[in-house]
Amino acid sequence: MSYQNIINALQANSGEGLSPQMKSDNYAAFNKIMEQGIYLPDLLKKVDALEAEIKEMKKPKDNGVDAQLFSVMEQAVKDDPKVTEAKRRLQEEKTRVISELCMKDESYRQAFDGYRTAVNASYIAMREKSSR
Final residue of a domain: which of 39, 58, 77?
Answer: 58
Domain match, 122 and 74 both: yes
Cβ atoms of 94 and 100 closer than 8 Å: no
Cβ atoms of 95 and 102 closer than 8 Å: no
What pTM was estimated for this model as a whole?
A: 0.42
Q: How far is residue 77's CA from residue 40's CA, in Å, rounded to a whole number?
A: 57
The secondary structure of the chain in percent helix, strand, coil, rounded to multiples of 5, reads: 80, 0, 20
Domain match, 30 and 71 both: no
Q: Indicate the number of domains in the chain.
A: 2
Q: How far is residue 107's CA from residue 113's CA, in Å, rounded to a whole number?
A: 10
Q: What is the pLDDT of residues 12-69, one digit of tens each?
A: 655 567 788 888 898 898 888 889 988 888 888 888 999 998 988 888 776 666 888 8
Domain match, 46 and 70 both: no
Q: How far is residue 31's CA from residue 125's CA, in Å, rounded to a whole number?
A: 87
Structural domain of 99: 64-130
Domain match, 54 and 72 both: no
Average pLDDT, the chain: 86
Domain match, 68 and 54 both: no
Domain match, 73 and 103 both: yes
Specify the pLDDT at position 14.
Answer: 54
